[in-house]
């Protein structure tokens, strides 16, 4: 299985994502100006501050040539994982529903916390962001829940940003595009605190299979 990690100017976590992908397959970086993904099986849109996030998080990155190719990849039902800034980019690109707003207390937060997946299993993964408050209209949230598109929630009492209904990560209707604010690529080695993040990558690998 070959993973491609998109690299924008201002990406921060692309090497960490590359390393995490290499633990569950082969992986390479894809420069944002490439409009051909080179036959990768799965794409990671990584964390960071693409283009400085100056206009609005993810608002400029979505127009890059690589993102056109990512949209085609997603439309073909192949796996796309957006982490943090990548989640923001996927929402800006309308590949995922909803939007990420500034954290409720208007401060950046970096904290190890527990996520619950749809099966109720707990994952210990760090979150670190200033604009991670998940927002969607109530009707959309109802629909996401009914369709099983809420992939991850913050464990009770651990919502760090004021996300509606504790939503930490969502998928598209088809389930092949996943975005989440916490950073699974920073939870792949017990030395740095946890290996639970590997389960997120394995889940995407299962979509590709």
Partner 1 sequence: MTVGTAKHRELGLTDSEYDLICEKLECEPNAVELAMFSLLWSEHCAYKHSRKLLRRLPTEGERVVMGPGENAGAVDVGSGYAVAFKVESHNHPSAVEPFQGAATGVGGILRDVFALGARPIAILDSLRFGELDSERARFLLDGAVRGIGHYGNSIGVATVGGEIYFEAPYEHNCLVNAMCVGIAKQEAMVRAAAAGVGNAVVLMGASTGRDGIGGASVLASAELGDGDEAKRPTVQIGDPFEESKVLECCLELLEKGLLVSLQDLGAAGLTSSASEMASAGGVGIDLDVARVPLREADMEPFEIMVSESQERMLGVVEPAKVGEVLAICEKWQTGSAEIGVVTDSGQVRVLRGGEVVGEMPVEALVDGCPLYDLDPAEPEGWIYGNRTTLDAGASAEETLLALLGSPSVASKRWAFEQYDSVVGSRTARRPESADAAVLAIPEAGNAIAVSIDGNGRRVACDPYAGTIEAVLECAQNLACTGAEPLGLTNCLNFGNPEKPVPAWQLDRAVSGLADACEALGVPVVGGNVSLYNEGPEGPIYPTPVVGMVGELPDPNATAPSAFAREGDTIALVGPFAPALAGSELAKLRGELEMGLPQPDVAAVTAACAAIRAAVRAGTLASAHDVSDGGLAVALTESAIGSGFGCQVDLSPLLDRGASPEEALFGEGLGGFVVSGERAALESLAADTVEVSILGEVGNESIEIASGDSVVTVSLAEATRAWSSLSVAIEPAG
Query: Which residue number, 78 or 183, has a Cβ lying nearer to partner 1?
Result: 183
Find the shortest distance in angstroms from Cβ 149 to partner 1: 28
Contacts with partner 1, residue ranges (CB under 8 A): 9-13, 15-16, 19, 47-49, 51-54, 105, 107-111, 126, 128, 130, 183, 185-186, 188-193
Beta strands in 48-187 (DSSP E): 80-83, 99-101, 109-117, 122-129, 133-135, 150-154, 167-171, 177-180
Annotated catalytic, 84? yes
Query: Which residue number, 22 or 140, has a Cβ lying nearer to partner 1?
Result: 22
Query: Which residue number, 86 or 126, has a Cβ lying nearer to partner 1?
Result: 126
Find the shortest distance in angstroms from Cβ 188 to partner 1: 8
**Which among 84, 92, 129, 186 is annotated as catalytic?**
84
Contacts of 7 (CB under 8 A, 6+ apart): 14, 29, 30, 31, 32, 46
| Contact present, 177 and 80 (Cβ < 8 Å) | yes
φ, ψ of residue 92 in degrees (nearest 5): -60, -35
38: left (phi over 0), alpha (psi -120 to 50) or beta: left
| Contact present, 181 and 98 (Cβ < 8 Å) | no
Find the shortest distance in angstroms from Cβ 111 to partner 1: 6
Annotated catalytic, 26? no
Find the shortest distance in angstroms from Cβ 81 to partner 1: 17
DSSP letter, residue 161 = S
Find the shortest distance in angstroms from Cβ 127 to partner 1: 10
Annotated catalytic, 185? yes
Q: What are the angstrom distances between the C-alpha of 25 and each of 31, 44, 145, 153? A: 20, 13, 31, 27
Query: Which residue number, 9 or 175, has a Cβ lying nearer to partner 1?
Result: 9
**Which among 14, 92, 131, 185 is annotated as catalytic?**
185
Query: Which residue number, 153 or 186, has a Cβ lying nearer to partner 1?
Result: 186
| Contact present, 61 and 32 (Cβ < 8 Å) | yes
The H-or-E segment that residue 14 falls in is: helix 14-22
Catalytic residue numbers read 84, 183, 185
């Amino acid at each position: 299985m070959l993973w491609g990690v998109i690299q924008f100017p201002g990406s921060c976590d692309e090497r960490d994502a590359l390393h995490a992908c290499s633990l569950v397959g082969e992986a390479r970086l894809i420069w944002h100006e490439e409009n051909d993904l080179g036959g990768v099986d799965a794409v990671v849109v990584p964390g960071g501050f693409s283009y400085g996030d100056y206009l609005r998080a993810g608002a400029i990155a979505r127009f890059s040539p690589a993102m056109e190719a990512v949209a085609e990849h997603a439309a073909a039902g192949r796996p796309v994982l957006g982490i943090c800034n990548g989640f923001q980019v996927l929402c800006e690109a309308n590949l995922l529903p909803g939007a990420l707003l500034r954290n409720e207390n208007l401060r950046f937060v970096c904290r190890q916390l527990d996520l619950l997946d749809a099966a109720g299993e707990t994952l210990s993964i760090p979150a670190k962001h200033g604009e991670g408050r998940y927002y969607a209209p109530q009707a959309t949230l109802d629909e996401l829940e009914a369709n099983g598109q809420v992939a991850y929630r913050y464990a009770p009492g651990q919502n760090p940003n004021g996300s509606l209904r504790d939503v930490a990560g969502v998928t598209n209707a088809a389930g092949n595009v996943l975005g989440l604010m916490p950073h699974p690529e920073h939870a792949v080695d017990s030395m740095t605190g946890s290996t639970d993040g590997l389960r997120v990558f394995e889940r995407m690998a299962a979509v590709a299979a």
